[in-house]
Amino acid sequence: MRSLSRFLGLVPILGLAELLLHQCFAHRAPEFSDYQRLGPALLELKRPGVPVVVAPSWAEPLLRQVAPAAFPLAELARPDDSGFAAFLEVSLLGQSAPELAGFATKQLQQVGPFRVSLRQNPRPEPASFDFVTAVETGEVEVFLDVDEQLSPCLRRERTHWSTGGLHGHVAYPRLRHECGGGHFVGVTLIEDQDYRPRRCILVQPPAAGALVLRFTSVPASRRLLGFAGFSYFLERDTALDEVELSVAEAGSALGSYRAAGARGWSRFELVRGANGSVEVKLRRLLQSASDFCFALEAR
Amino acid sequence: MRLLAWLKLHRDASVALLLFAGYLTLLLTTADSLGFMRDEGFYFASARAYGDWFALLWRSPAEALQKATLDRYWAINHEHPSLLKALFALSNRWLSGAFAQTSSSFRFPAMVLSSLAVALTFVWGRRTLGRGGALVAALSFAFMPRVFFHAHLACFDLPVCALWLLTGYVYVRSLESPRLGWVLAAGIAYGLFLDTKHNSWIFPFALVLHFVFIRPVTLWRELRTGAAWWRRVPLAWLSMLLLGPLVFCALWPWLWHDTAARLREYVQFHTGHEYYNMEFLGQTYWKPPMPRAYAWLMTLATVPLVTLVLGVAGALCLRRERPSDHVFWAVSLLMSYAPWLSSGTPIFGGTKHWMTAYPFLCLFAGLGFEQVVEALRGARPWLARPLLVGACVLVGPLVMTLHAHPFGLSAYTPLVGGAPGAATLGLNRTFWGYTTQGLAPLINQRAPRHAVVFLHDTAPQSFAMFQEDGRLRRDLRGSLDIAASDVALYHYEPHMSRVEQQIWLEYGSVAPDAIATFDGVPVAWAYLRKHP
């Protein structure tokens, strides 16, 4: 009873301490003017191929606002981190990015309340060929395959992206290979299981037959690293395999991967054999399958 | 003695009146800076329809009472009972001239009920507490950041708090008064409660628990011996059982025809409610199992710690006088949280769905406050001044609450590091699309004339109210189509990130043109299309 009384006597102090802490936390985060001062410094430190990572991630929009050039879409929506040799980490409030744990800090600079550090990937696996960029730049031929008969899909440019909003389809690109019947191939973004953006090749496989993407300029490498998925928000309840992706090189099958929405953005690997043109074939397994997206890199 | 007693009563009534008027004034003076929630947009629209029906009823009662007419006007938003929306409608019709902004006329009834809840907390507290304790209880409730936020809204969450409190108070009074008035009032109050929100469905369980806990030994003995225990069942139960549904149906014209089918539809809507998305500790939940720690952790993260500690202290130090009241507070508190013991209960409403517990938590806090003063009296008599102690335990909640406005849903207590700490922990930063208000300066200054604004999570009806109130330019057009827009809004929630990603592609930029922040944490941002 005596200790309870003693504890109760401390409650007014607790009230004042809570007020003090509130004042401290309410003014702890950097001001917008701090971000404005950071912008030019960040752009000076930023090198191509070195993505910027913000810790905590909630501050990223403020960084994007003051230094948009530090966030090229290909880096912001990268398929994963393993292909990059280094990252430029901007940290505030003493936070650091969990995905960079184990990455050595090479350079460190304090800019106002921000710590900007270059973090070195201990085992980088740089890509020698990015299939997503190849689709964007037209280094691909796309065909509709019905009963082994290939008919080419024409590359067209529309004036606008077509966006579906929250519950609608993913963004349909301006630049696309149109295959008839409303099916097309292009580059877009989908969100993964953490709702982070991933840049990928959007494919709408037909109900019958398949879509074939042929890449003729893929340099020799040991393997192909792939990622595949759907808009997680739209397809996260679908556990059944929806689309099959199979890859062949120089006429030999390298392997295949089946994607389901509930698995989110998933990784797969294929070992390469003889070097030649790479064909990616996409087949719909589930009639209700929606917009499928994949990324592929030669590593 | 009579005069003294009257004076005492009068002084408490004056304090209650002051609390009511003071809180209502504070709500009214701060409402203009608070944006409109999605749900408010739907309730504005339904209130306008109900208001049209009231006008028709006045002009042509026979026509207004026809089934087809009733259905035409009352079908809108019939998944929620009518009382509050009808009050919004009448307030808008009769009082709109009294307010600078149209929205305040709709919000006014909910503000009145919220202020009533604050005053009633004091009144109920006074039955077992000193004036200081009761005042601490009422002000602790008034100055919970989330309570203050919801108290402004043309929604049902604070009104249902008020109705739980009112029905409970009347019920407890009916147990000790031989007057039939309290018994009848309990039935009517429960009818109003039923017609406010479905939290009222839990209330009977609180009554049963109260009945059991108040005389457990006697009841056990009667049950064992087969004595007529049911004779102890309060008359108010009968009143609530009969009058409650009667008042409920009488005040909801949608139920005047096809009553059974429509009641079934209403119940089914809420028992099988869709699971919306909610972020909790970095994970987005959209289907069961929901995290069982959600309600408890969110309470810890959003209710001032000093209020919680006082509440716990009060609950641990119950007094002998008026045990019936204290038991009622305890069961009301527990029953308000009970649905979240199940991992099947949706969590999308943040803290608002269990706010009915908060007045009772604060009543216990009032009790705890008296224990604190008592403890200090023994140890540090010079500190044991109720005014001083009261100031110490209320100044934090008051400052936090005023600071949180108008970003109440982004407000977190120091226990989780405030808003920045909560964002780092992955607690929900905002929902309901109301933070468009924070982006109004950019939109008004920089949107081209007749620009189309992609609204994202702001309901079109809420956007219309922004314009009607003069908060957003009237030449703007709201749209749910990103491609057609010149300005695109984005209200942050992880599962909606796909919307922002679509804006990046459509606008060709990842750089927001304006960001609304709370304590440095981004909650909503806007993009302007750069025309070549």
The structural domains of chain A, with segments of one domain joined by +, span 32-120, 129-298
Query: A5-16: per-residue pLDDT in tens?
Result: 788 899 999 999
DSSP bridge pairs for A224: A270, A298
Task: Report how far residue B91's alpha carbon sits from residue A167's, in angstroms, rounded to the nearest whole number.
Answer: 36
Whether B305 has its CB under 8 Å from any CB of chain A: the answer is yes
Statement to judge: residues B368 and B473 lie in one domain: no
- Per-residue pLDDT at B335: 97
Query: Quick one: pLDDT band at residue A93, thresholds 50, 70, 90?
Result: very high
Distance between A23 CA and the closest CA of chain B, angstroms: 9
Whether B502 has its CB under 8 Å from any CB of chain A: the answer is yes
In a domain, B121, yes or no: yes
- Per-residue pLDDT at A2: 67
Query: A123-156: per-residue pLDDT in tens?
Result: 999 999 999 999 999 999 999 999 989 999 999 9
DSSP bridge pairs for B525: B490, B515
| E strand segments, A125-219 | 129-130, 141-146, 149-152, 154-157, 175-178, 184-191, 197-203, 210-215
Phi, psi angles (nearest 5°) of residue A69: -65, -15
* B69, burial (CB in 10 Å: exposed 0-12, middle 13-18, buried 19+): middle
Tally the domains of chain B.
2
Of the candidates B187, B424, B341, the one whose C-alpha atom is nearest the C-alpha of residue A94 is B424
A294 has pLDDT over 90: yes
In a domain, B114, yes or no: yes
Task: Report how far residue B277's alpha carbon sits from residue B274's, in angstroms, rounded to the nearest whole number.
Answer: 10
Statement to judge: residues B185 and B304 lie in one domain: yes
Query: A78-92: per-residue pLDDT in tens?
Result: 999 999 999 999 999
- Per-residue pLDDT at B349: 87
DSSP conformation letters of B185-210: HHHHHHHHHHTT-GGGGTHHHHHHHH
A93 and A29 Cβ atoms separated by less than 8 Å: yes
For residue B420, which residues of chain A lie inside 8 Å, CB to CB? 25, 28-29, 56, 58, 93
**Low pLDDT (below 70) residues in chain B:** 1-9
- Per-residue pLDDT at A1: 61
Whether B425 has its CB under 8 Å from any CB of chain A: the answer is no
**Least CB–CB distance from B414: residue in A21, A164, A195:** A21
Taking only Cα atoms into account, the Rg of chain A, rounded to an integer number of angstroms, comes to 24
Question: What percent of chain A has a predicted confidence (pLDDT) above 90?
Answer: 88
Q: How many CB atoms lie within 10 A of CB A133?
A: 15
In a domain, B514, yes or no: yes
Q: Choosing among A19, A32, A73, A91, which should be mutated to test the B contact, i.e. which has the most B CBs within 10 A?
A: A19
- C-alpha distance across the termini of chain A, in Å: 70
**Least CB–CB distance from A195: residue in B374, B495, B504:** B495
- Find residues 148-167 of chain A whose CB sits inside 8 Å of chain B: 160-166
Q: Choosing among B275, B318, B501, which should be mutated to test the A contact, i.e. which has the most A CBs within 10 A?
A: B501
Q: How big, in percent rounded to 5, are the helix, strand and coil portions of chain A?
A: 25, 35, 40
Verify whether the Cβ–Cβ distance A166 to B496 is below 8 Å.
yes
Instruction: Please give the structure tokens belonging to residue B271.
Output: 């028992």
Statement to judge: residues B246 and B321 lie in one domain: yes
- Per-residue pLDDT at B475: 98
Q: How many CB atoms lie within 10 A of CB A114?
A: 23
From edge to edge, which strands make up the β-sheet containing B487-491?
B477-479, B452-454, B487-491, B521-528, B514-518
- Per-residue pLDDT at A161: 83
DSSP 8-class letter at A30: P
Taking only Cα atoms into account, the Rg of chain B, rounded to an integer number of angstroms, comes to 24
- Per-residue pLDDT at A289: 84
- Per-residue pLDDT at B179: 85
Statement to judge: residues B373 and B439 lie in one domain: no
Whole-angstrom CA distances from A30 to A35, B358, B428 are: 7, 34, 20
Q: Is the ipTM of this complex over 0.90?
A: yes
Verify whether the Cβ–Cβ distance B392 to A71 is below 8 Å.
no
The last residue of one of the domains, among B347, B382, B417, is B382
A272 has pLDDT over 70: yes
Whether B69 has its CB under 8 Å from any CB of chain A: the answer is no
Verify whether the Cβ–Cβ distance B510 to A5 is below 8 Å.
no
Task: Report how far residue B520's alpha carbon sits from residue A31's, in angstroms, rounded to the nearest whole number.
Answer: 6
DSSP bridge pairs for A5: none
**Least CB–CB distance from A11: residue in B372, B424, B481:** B372
Phi, psi angles (nearest 5°) of residue A82: -65, -20
**Number of residues assigned to chain A:** 299
In a domain, B488, yes or no: yes
Q: Choosing among B502, B507, B519, which should be mutated to test the A contact, i.e. which has the most A CBs within 10 A?
A: B502
Statement to judge: residues B220 and B310 lie in one domain: yes
- Find residues 104-123 of chain B whose CB sits inside 8 Å of chain A: none
Statement to judge: residues B332 and B481 lie in one domain: no
Of the candidates B91, B398, B86, B108, the one whose C-alpha atom is nearest the C-alpha of residue B247 is B86
Statement to judge: residues B123 and B214 lie in one domain: yes
Whether B504 has its CB under 8 Å from any CB of chain A: the answer is yes
In a domain, B33, yes or no: no
Query: B421-469: per-residue pLDDT in tens?
Result: 999 999 999 999 999 999 999 999 999 999 999 999 999 999 999 999 9
B187 and B242 Cβ atoms separated by less than 8 Å: yes
Q: Which domain holds residue B517?
A: 434-528
Q: How many CB atoms lie within 10 A of CB B27?
A: 25
Of the candidates B76, B67, B133, B44, the one whose C-alpha atom is nearest the C-alpha of residue B434 is B44
- What fold is seen in the domain A129-298? Jelly Rolls (2.60.120)
- Per-residue pLDDT at B293: 96
B315 and B363 Cβ atoms separated by less than 8 Å: no
A293 has pLDDT over 70: yes
Whole-angstrom CA distances from A8 to B126, B384, B392, B512 are: 22, 12, 13, 49
Verify whether the Cβ–Cβ distance A25 to B483 is below 8 Å.
no
Q: Helices B358-379 & A2-9, crossing angle to 10 degrees?
A: 110
Query: Quick one: pLDDT band at residue A115, thresholds 50, 70, 90?
Result: very high
For residue B496, which residues of chain A lie inside 8 Å, CB to CB? 166, 233
Verify whether the Cβ–Cβ distance B375 to A5 is below 8 Å.
yes
Q: How many CB atoms lie within 10 A of CB B188?
A: 17
In a domain, B355, yes or no: yes
Whether B429 has its CB under 8 Å from any CB of chain A: the answer is yes
- Per-residue pLDDT at A180: 84
Q: Choosing among A161, A194, A293, which should be mutated to test the B contact, i.e. which has the most B CBs within 10 A?
A: A161
Whole-prediction pTM: 0.95
Task: Report how far residue B242's alpha carbon sits from residue A236's, in angstroms, rounded to the nearest whole number.
Answer: 47
Of the candidates B391, B392, B469, the one whose C-alpha atom is nearest the C-alpha of residue B437 is B469
